[in-house]
Structure 1
Amino acid sequence: MSLQLDRHGWLKPGRGVSLTPSPNFNERPRGTAVSLLVIHNISLPPGELGGPHVEDLFCNRLDYAAHAWFENLRGLRVAAHFFVRRDGAVQQFVATDKRAWHAGVSRLHDREGCNDFSLGVELEGTDVLPYTDEQYAMLGRLTVALKARYPLTHAWGHEHIAPGRKTDPGPAFDWQRFGATCGFLRRSLPPG
């Protein structure tokens, strides 16, 4: 089953797809083409999978008292466009036509501020935990849908656009496998 975006950049909700609008976005700079897909990972608290905490973080309703580590996130306003859970379910937080706050201080080649021209996908996981078959399958389907709408020329990890600051999706992510699922050529993927 293919995924499709509506005219505003939202996926059609249904089996394995849910929409949870986040306030953590703004408009892209006028005339900016979306050309980069940024792949991240997240688990909250770190190393713990499942639960509502990622959704709560992206929607500014995280209960900081629920875990001592959450104090590190107090005041943080972030959201990726998409979150792919371990079972392959995808949750969309920001319309693709909008600038989600996922990349932070970042650079691709000579362009700074990757949020301006990118889409962000968070995979539920850690840098060292292998991603699931279901995640690769959904990420591939999602990427095909995004490439049908936007002139994506690169798919890089957060670690590649914010080196020294970020480490995700980490060594557990198989870039060749990902490229094979969605048609990204090696030259479009991170160096290395």
Structure 2
Amino acid sequence: MSGLGWAEGWWDLAARAPSPHWDDRPVGAQVELVVLHAISLPPDRFGTGEVQRFFQGLLDWDAHPYYAQLRELRVSAHFFIERDGKIWQHVPVQGRAWHAGVSAWRGRPACNDFSIGIELEGNAMESFADRQYDRLNILLAALRQYYPALAEDAIAGHSEIAPGRKWDPGPQFDWQRLEHFRHD
């Protein structure tokens, strides 16, 4: 599969920060879902660069007390969108990023096998930035071009695929602002 602006699963408009925390999708697995997340490191602080370092396995575990609970985790996402709209890519889209954990979508378990994970810099209390929605919509359009079979309702929040375990992208995320997917 190819699409304008893509090279070997890397999107030309994203800054690359490759993660070691990914592997191959199962044989025959197709991308059928986009999962939206929210994250900030340390919690509720933005623009620190710590999320990128966490996904790359480069976080200084002693830099903040909160990081002690993250030390054993191996986490990544395909994309991370900062508050100012800058998009980072950590895993090529054909790879399986480790973002969803124990999860199920429409009765199908193991969402990492068949999804693209997009993290937005945010928390449960503050609205996401206009620039993040703008850039998210550009990225979603590019993903629909790369994966034309992606259904328009093939998008979910982490809280929907891991209910009771995850909260994100949270109550501040405005699903109505999505242009290329329909969230029911």
Q: Which letter does structure 2 place at the counterpart of 1:152? A: L
> Aligned with 2:140: secondary structure?
helix
Q: Which letter does structure 1 place at the counterpart of 2:109? A: E
Structure 1 runs, 4 residues or longer, greater than 6 Å off = none
From 44, 61, 64, the equivalent of 2:61 is: 64
User: How far 1:34 sits from its partner (Å)?
Assistant: 0.3
Listed as ranges, the gaps of 5+ residues in structure 2 are none
**Does structure 1 residue 73 correspond to structure 2 residue 65?**
no
Which structure dedicates a bigger proportion of its chain to helix? 1
From 137, 142, 147, the equivalent of 1:140 is: 137
Q: Which residue of 1 aligns with 2:80?
A: 83
User: How far 1:140 sits from its partner (Å)?
Assistant: 0.2
> Aligned with 1:165: secondary structure?
coil
Q: Output the aligned Cα RMSD.
A: 1.3
Q: Which residue of 2 aligns with 1:126?
A: 123
Q: Which residue of 2 aligns with 1:165?
A: 165
User: How far 1:41 sits from its partner (Å)?
Assistant: 0.4
> Aligned with 2:166: secondary structure?
coil
Query: Hey, what's the Cα distance between the residues in 1 that align with 2:166 and 2:120?
Result: 15
Q: Which residue of 1 aligns with 2:175?
A: 175
Query: Hey, what's the Cα distance between the residues in 2 that align with 1:127 and 1:143?
Result: 22
How many residues align? The count is: 179
Cα distance, 1:158–1:6 mapped onto 2, change above 3 Å: same
**Does structure 1 residue 113 correspond to structure 2 residue 99?**
no
Listed as ranges, the gaps of 5+ residues in structure 1 are none
Identity of aligned residues (%): 47
TM-score normalised to the size of structure 1?
Answer: 0.90
